Amino acid sequence: MRSDPQSSTRGLARLIEQVGKAAYNLGFTPGLNPAQWAALRYFDEASVERRTVTGFAQFQGTTKGTASQTVAALVRKGRLKRVGDKVDRRVHRLVLTEASEALLKSDPLQQLSRALETLSQKERWALAINMEKVLRQLIDI
């Protein structure tokens, strides 16, 4: 392997790509795919006001149609339920069912969390700061 700067950054980019693929592949579980896991995580953590298809689409950086398909599949599977907003009847909030709350306790992303726990607190902090910098560059392009 070459040791010039371009080669080392390209190798690092490939390594990050492989970590991303491995993390994504953890989401293929019986009954759910990675997009559905991402939706469950989102609706578990989002503020009440953001628990909409539009909020999920914005968070994922995808179209409302794509987000709507994911949400519709989770509603059909009994993983999410639509609740009408008490103030604005046009708005439907999405909430996790009890089954989904239980399912999130065995979220496959926990495997990645355990792998990250092998790093020291200082290493995790440095990784987080630098990954955020890289992500911001990709988003701003």
Q: Is residue 44 part of a domain?
A: yes
Helix (H) or strand (E) holding 92: strand 92-96
Q: Is residue 136 part of a domain?
A: no
Q: Is residue 8 part of a domain?
A: no
42 contacts: CB under 8 Å, gap ≥ 6: 55, 56, 59, 60
Q: Is residue 91 part of a domain?
A: yes
Tell me the pLDDT band of 127, cut-offs 50, 70 and 90.
very high
Q: Is residue 7 part of a domain?
A: no
Q: Which residues pair with 84 in a beta bridge?
A: 92
pLDDT at 2 over 80: no
Share of the chain above pLDDT 90, in %: 85
Domain count along the chain? 1
Q: Is residue 125 part of a domain?
A: no
* Helix, strand, coil % over all residues of the chain, rounded to 5: 65, 10, 25
Question: If phi over 0 gives left and psi between -120 and 50 gives alpha, with beta otherwise, what is residue 96?
Answer: beta
Show the domain range for 32.
27-106
Q: Is residue 84 part of a domain?
A: yes
pLDDT of residue 86: 83
Q: Is residue 80 part of a domain?
A: yes
- Are the CB atoms for 37 and 88 separated by under 8 Å? no
**Tens of pLDDT, residues 29-87:** 999 999 999 999 999 999 999 999 999 999 999 999 999 999 999 999 999 999 988 88
Q: What is the CATH number of the domain that holds 66?
A: 1.10.10.10
Average pLDDT, the chain: 93
